[in-house]
Amino acid sequence: MKTIKSTIISGRLQKNTSKIISTIINVIAFITISYASYLLVLLSIPYIHFQKNVEFLETKQLIYHINPWRYSFYIHVFSSPIVIIGGLLQFNRSIMKRYSSLHRKVGYTYIITVLLISGPSAFIMSLYATGGYIAQVSFVTLSVLWMLFTIQALRFAKNGNYESHVKWMIRSYALTLSAVTLRFYAYLFDYFNVDISPRETYILLAYMSWIPNLIFSEFIIRKGYVRYLLSDR
């Protein structure tokens, strides 16, 4: 009898411990991404005056005159905060459970912005990426996968398969965060004074900005993060 009780108590302790750990990880991730999103919004502010010699644009003087690239750049910059913040709210468990209508509205805003605004503009920009064909292949792949994953998320939501919907939203948002991770790795390269050419740096950043994100998204999916988000407790 004692053994059965001990087993039950042990099982409950493990379940509660797992729940606490998942909650802590969720809170830390939410705070970290929130702060990174805030920084990304700040980075977009210098471009509101549409001046050609500002921040990132200083490195794009040779292609700034190309209308498709220039229009896409501004569209992408000013729509990025919408998808960053909108995507972040999609994984807030309280909003999912208590304010399902808000969750759906924010989700549709995210999906529409990615598919009709941010994704297409990112694709056009990727065709002119610094670093030549190697970097361009990376950014083209990134933008195409970003839109495909988002379409998958929408399709499963429409079919009522919410577990698959959340999985594809996680993958989509992992690619959304490439804008944040690219700048983070660029900061590390600069801080540690990595001794490689600017072209090689840009090529590395082109792939590092999203491939590790995608790997991490698969890791948390396999570790049961989706079940945690959808669970009632």
Q: Give the length of the chain.
A: 233
- Say how far apart CA 188 and CA 130 lie, in whole Å: 19
pLDDT digits (tens, 9 = 90+) for 24-44: 766 776 777 677 777 777 777
Closest CA to 111 of 176, 164, 161, 177: 176
- Say how far apart CA 72 and CA 67 lie, in whole Å: 8
How many other C-beta atoms lie within 10 A of the C-beta of residue 182?
Answer: 19
pLDDT of residue 80: 86
Is 176 within 8 Å of 149 (Cβ atoms)? no
pLDDT digits (tens, 9 = 90+) for 146-182: 999 999 999 999 999 999 999 999 999 999 999 889 9
Confidence of residue 224 (pLDDT cuts 50, 70, 90): confident
pLDDT of residue 153: 96
Region 119-143: mean pLDDT is 94
Read off the tokens for 73: 């750049």
Question: Which secondary-structure segment (H or E) carries 156?
Answer: helix 132-158
- Say how far apart CA 27 and CA 24 lie, in whole Å: 5
**DSSP codes of every residue in 84-143:** HHHHHHHT-HHHHHH-HHHHHHHHHHHHHHIIIIIHHHHHHHHTT-TTHHHHHHHHHHHH
Give the predicted TM-score (pTM) of the model. Answer: 0.85
How many other C-beta atoms lie within 10 A of the C-beta of residue 114?
Answer: 29
pLDDT digits (tens, 9 = 90+) for 47-68: 777 888 877 788 788 888 899 9
CA-based torsion, 191, 192, 195, 196: positive or negative? negative
**DSSP codes of every residue in 169-210:** HHHHHHHHTHHHHHHHHHHHHHHTT--S-HHHHHHHHHHHTT
How many other C-beta atoms lie within 10 A of the C-beta of residue 27?
Answer: 10
